[in-house]
Amino acid sequence: MNIRNNLKPGDIGYLTYLHGILYARECGWDYTFEAYVAGPLAEFARSHNDRERIWIVEKDKIVTGSMAVVEAGKDEAQLRWLLLHPDLRGRGMGRFLMEQAIAFCRDRNYQIAFLWTVGSLTAAARLYQSLGFRVTEEKTRMLWGALLTEQRCDLKL
């Protein structure tokens, strides 16, 4: 397994595809979730800076996961696109990626790291809580073809 911080041709499309196909299979979300991922991910590829970073997980030279830190303001960083192929889950890789992202945020002097998730992703919620994230905002609405409760989770750094 390899983790890299640089984007290569095909990464944006493949990460978008992987998000779309896995969340459709596991959560029943529709194609609009792919659009939700694709737009900001493409923008990140066009214009990321030294206060932002992406982690691309590869197994046998195939992209199998990701994590990113995106600048959301002078003092806030958003953690985005945490995803692991099911074959890599349950081995501590998600925790490792989150810890790398949090350490990067601290190194870049962010005051708050936050992420958006949905309440039905219970394994992710347990991970975030164990790392010190707390729910600071909730809203329930139709999203990606399902009625979901979005949650903003913040970590003071």
Q: What is the pLDDT of residues 27-84, one digit of tens each?
A: 999 999 999 999 999 999 999 899 999 999 999 999 999 999 999 999 999 999 999 9
pLDDT score recorded for residue 105:
98
- What distances in angstroms separate CA 150 from CA 19, 33, 121, 126, 140, one per listed residue? 17, 13, 10, 15, 6
Structural contact between residues 20 and 37, judged by C-beta atoms closer than 8 angstroms: yes
10 Å Cβ neighbour count for 93? 18
pLDDT score recorded for residue 130:
97
The pTM assigned to this predicted structure is 0.94
pLDDT digits (tens, 9 = 90+) for 97-144: 999 999 999 999 999 999 999 988 988 999 999 999 999 999 999 999
10 Å Cβ neighbour count for 8? 11
What domains sit in the chain, N to C, each tagged with a CATH number? 2-110 (3.40.630.30)
